[in-house]
Amino acid sequence: MNRKYFGTDGIRGRVGGDKINPEFVLKLGWAAGRVLGDGRGGKVLIGKDTRISGYLLESALEAGLVAAGIDIHLLGPMPTPGIAYLTRTLHARAGIVISASHNPHHDNGIKFFSSAGTKLPDEVEVAIEQELDRDMTIVESQRLGKAYRMADAAGRYIEFCKSSIPWVMSFRGLKVVVDCANGATYHIAPHVFEELGAEVVAIGVEPDGLNINAGVGSTHAESVRQAVLEHGADLGIALDGDGDRLIMVDADGVVLDGDDILYIIARSRQANGGLKGAVVGTQMTNLGLEHALHRIGIGLERTRVGDRYIMERLQEKKWVLGGEPSGHVICLDRTTTGDGIISALQVLAEMVNSGHTLSRLRDGLEKYPQRLENVALDGASANDVMASPALDDAVRVAEGELGESGRILLRPSGTEPLIRVMVEGRDAAQVETLTRRLAEVVGNLA
């Protein structure tokens, strides 16, 4: 379905731009309330990450929803997967997340969860967009919604995270660095691992509204890597600003991305009989993961890039495990969406059960050299760049040089004005050369 405002992960943009501003968000809250309430009212949860603009957008959303006759429960700073969980367990009509995930503080966004704790179906997003194009009205004063603050939201989610592993399990004896990216998990993730017995070194837990994802978190693994080596930790856990991505670091400082984590959890589920069907990856999933899973009898299916497409495939096939290299890992046998804390708990549980180090758990996975370069669009349309004959010719030549031993993927970002250039192959030097060449072509067109 063609959508005017919604992207692959809600509505996102620069604060003060054409969508992430008080006027638009007020109308968005009203439109969402009209569709989700269906004239019967009900309650909607609102949570946010730690961006300074969250205060502004929260107030605008609240006003719009209340004007449509919806009661609001304000959760405060809360990880995206925590909002999904609370939406489901509190039987809310929807959950709304104010976050731009791994983006810098000057961006923000709005995304929605259904009453089941999953992303809204396309037809519901289209219905909200249709309401956005209508004149705003306000229900009669006796039908206006009310707003409440939920004081125990963090504690409820902490207990849910801990329940995703056996209650008798303890992480006592493990020293763990937890990097919260100065984001929504800052007051949650360290407590989860501490309460399970681990010795925790917490970094990225001093949000000031402007430092979310700034040099810390899953997009800056060097910070958690350095802390692991300095503190002699057994492993490091790096989350992103809204807590749905996970990158890990082993005791030697080796960074494990979403493909590594997916491999470890898949092997664990296979061993305990919990793996149903195949694993779902994306076009970005490393060929090495596909081959490693195949060698142990696990299939891998690919979707378009984006966790919503992974989720759609998992639900369609009734499978339980999927993810992408960026660190979105979905364990549908534990929760309804990608969750960095819960994914990390599954890995630590396997370390305890097996007695193996994090490094040992990824034995058997040899990833192909892969290079990803993001090329900013300098006013050009992503569609025009992607349709360029010059780019088509450059890709054809590069594919001829790679032969059967690699892949090339070019795609517009669903969340930022970028085109992502990815090259994968057996020869690291060749991969580097081809990536730079193709990125230069894209840059000239952008």
- By DSSP bridging, strand 246-250 and strand 235-239 are antiparallel
Classify residue 345 by burial, with Cβ atoms within 10 Å: 0-12, 13-18, 19+. buried
What count of other Cβ atoms lies within 10 Å of the Cβ of residue 193? 24
Closest CA to 81 of 343, 347, 337: 337
Residue 19, token pair as written in the block: 């969508």
Residue 145, token pair as written in the block: 């919604």
Distance CA(56)–CA(105), nearest Å, equals 13
Residue 124, token pair as written in the block: 């519901």
Amino acid identity, position 229: L
Residue with tokens 């519901």: 124
Establish how many alpha carbons lie within 13 A of residue 344's alpha carbon, considering only the half-sphere containing its beta carbon.
Answer: 33
Length of the chain: 446
Residue 77, token pair as written in the block: 């700073």
101 is catalytic: yes
Task: Pick the catalytic residue from 53, 101, 114, 218.
Answer: 101
What are residue 346's DSSP bridge partners? Answer: none
Closest CA to 371 of 318, 332, 338, 410: 410
Task: Classify 255 as helix, strand or coil.
Answer: strand
Distance CA(228)–CA(199), nearest Å, equals 12
Catalytic residues, by residue number, are: 101
